[in-house]
Structure 1
Amino acid sequence: MDAFDALIAPEDLPRARTNHQRRLAGEETEQRYPLRLMRKSGRMLWAETSGVRINWNGRPATLNIVNDITARKAAEDSIRHLAHHDPLTGLPNRVLLQDRLERALASAQRNGTSLAMLFIDLDGFKPVNDRYGHDTGDALLQAVAKRLRGTLRHSDTAARIGGDEFVVLLPVLAETQDAGLIAAKLRTAIASPFEIDGHRITISASIGLALYPRDGDTASELMRTADGAMYADKRQHAV
């Protein structure tokens, strides 16, 4: 195994060695399992390996068969990504947002901390679509997503849940008022003019805020409260 060991990614080496030793001992092992192998160039490939115990010059040995499954892994990763991300903006979708929110709530309940949800609806997006077309509208949504990512912390999540609606999850708050400060930063970022397809486009955002535990202790309660607060914010701007 020494020569083969040198090709195996360090994270997968214990698994490979365990299977090799068990196979040599005649014990039951994984029939097939994936490994990451390193090329001489430094690039990684995915391989599926299987093996059998044999006698080699009177000594126990293993005969291993290794198949390159890099393309299959890439296809699986792509399918997994599409299942959890918005195809237009690349942001997490509603499914991934729900998962992260449930995890954040469990952590907050366990540690006695606060979290926040921001429901964002773009004001003035429909006229942009009507005037410049859907391609420009799509490019604007992509630009908004980029600004959201650029404004938020690494631990935060910005998700697109449909149309011109976004939700931001703030899973860690040092102070509850930090959520309002972040909402203000997002509002300013979105209000700054966009240059899209040669057009200077200005939109704004209505933002609703919900805090755990103040506004609810379940994902559905927080989403409902944030959604209602967003519509209240929209009505206030319309006055």
Structure 2
Amino acid sequence: MSVVDVAAARLASVWDDNISGLNVGVLLTDERGQVLATNDVAAELMQLAKADLLTGSRPADWHLRDDTGASMPDWAELAGQVLRAGSPLSIPMVIARNGQPLSRIWADYHAVQVRGRSRVLILLQPVHTDVPHSRGLLDPLTGLPGRVLLLDRLEQSLVRARCRGTLSTLVLIDVHQLAEFNVEQGFDRGDELLTTLAGRLREGLSDEHTVARYGGDEFAVIAEHPSGTGEAIAEQAREVAGWPMRVGRRRVRPGLRVSWVTTDGHAPVHSVLARAEQQLQHRV
């Protein structure tokens, strides 16, 4: 064995020792989602044998789902998505056996280069607390998913639409003239208006929909459906949010502008958002 081979073997041993000593799960995959390297923590978190991770085999009763209970896209789809975008992707996962959830994991996907080849590094951490709160992914005022978590949910929805041949609709709801309301009534009353709207949207729409706070005066809804334009979902959101309410001592009927975009999942996230925002600007 040459000096170079010995040095490489020692380096590999040091690398293996360091990876095995980490307290987070580590997965390195290629562009097809094939696991090239991993550690024992990742196998434990995934409720799989390390050999199963490396070979791609899974027990028949083992399932990987997102935090809504829907099946996750396959790893090849996620790996390709991360490599195409060139930006990190964070996804909450639920590991289930025989239909029963065993553990919740937070997975961070990163596009990396290894010896000139595109790879995906996945870091896995157990969820001991409410991850969205602990990572600041929930809007502190309304308790709804914030912008970062919304983008992640929209990306997942688009992936599922592509894989399943279904549709994904994004609805944007703008609270018209909120700034003027804040000036006239005070920011406390404005916050009260927003929290009331958030509660109505969360309770009045299907549990399968994602309701999020997209911006200071905007909410968003993500819905998946087999057919249609999404107009019915947008109108339902408008109706639910548009009911008169009491804010302080005043009876208020919020002015709303609503737009929606329906896609088969092949449009990228930024295009869907840009189109919905553009349409919103033309609403009266």
| TM value normalised by structure 2 | 0.52
**Partner of 1:161 in structure 2?**
214
**Partner of 1:219 in structure 2?**
269
**Partner of 1:90 in structure 2?**
143
> Residues of 2 paired with 1:230 and 1:90: CA distance?
24
**Partner of 2:158 in structure 1?**
105
Letter in 2 for 1:162: G
Partner-residue secondary structure (3-state), 1:83: coil
Equivalent residue for 2:279, pick from 204, 221, 229: 229
Letter in 2 for 1:130: V
Instruction: Report the alpha carbon displacement of residue 78 of structure 1 after superposing the two structures with TM.
Output: 6.9
**Partner of 2:185 in structure 1?**
132
Instruction: Report the alpha carbon displacement of residue 81 of structure 1 after superposing the two structures with TM.
Output: 4.1
Partner-residue secondary structure (3-state), 2:130: helix
**How many positions carry a matched residue from both structures?**
160
Compare CA radii of gyration and give the structure with the larger one: 1
Letter in 2 for 1:207: V
Counterpart contact for 2:158–2:264, Cα < 8 Å: no
Counterpart contact for 1:187–1:205, Cα < 8 Å: yes
Gaps of 5+ in 2: 1-43, 45-126
Instruction: Report the alpha carbon displacement of residue 77 of structure 1 after superposing the two structures with TM.
Output: 3.4
**Partner of 1:174 in structure 2?**
226
> Residues of 1 paired with 2:149 and 2:198: CA distance?
16
> Residues of 2 paired with 1:197 and 1:82: CA distance?
33
Letter in 1 for 2:258: I
> Residues of 2 paired with 1:194 and 1:82: CA distance?
32
Partner-residue secondary structure (3-state), 2:172: strand
Instruction: Report the alpha carbon displacement of residue 82 of structure 1 after superposing the two structures with TM.
Output: 5.2
| TM value normalised by structure 1 | 0.61
Q: Per residue, is there more helix in 1 or in 2?
A: 1
Identity over aligned residues, as a percent?
31
Instruction: Report the alpha carbon displacement of residue 103 of structure 1 after superposing the two structures with TM.
Output: 1.1
Instruction: Report the alpha carbon displacement of residue 80 of structure 1 after superposing the two structures with TM.
Output: 4.0
> Residues of 2 paired with 1:106 and 1:93: CA distance?
20
**Partner of 1:186 in structure 2?**
237
RMSD over aligned Cα atoms: 2.3
Instruction: Report the alpha carbon displacement of residue 185 of structure 1 after superposing the two structures with TM.
Output: 1.7
**Partner of 2:26 in structure 1?**
none
Counterpart contact for 1:159–1:167, Cα < 8 Å: yes
Counterpart contact for 1:190–1:204, Cα < 8 Å: no
Letter in 2 for 1:137: G
Partner-residue secondary structure (3-state), 2:282: helix
1:1-239 mapped onto 2 (5 Å cutoff): 77=130, 80-81=133-134, 83-170=136-223, 172-177=224-229, 179-213=230-264, 217-233=267-283, 237=284
> Residues of 2 paired with 1:154 and 1:144: CA distance?
16
Counterpart contact for 1:187–1:204, Cα < 8 Å: no
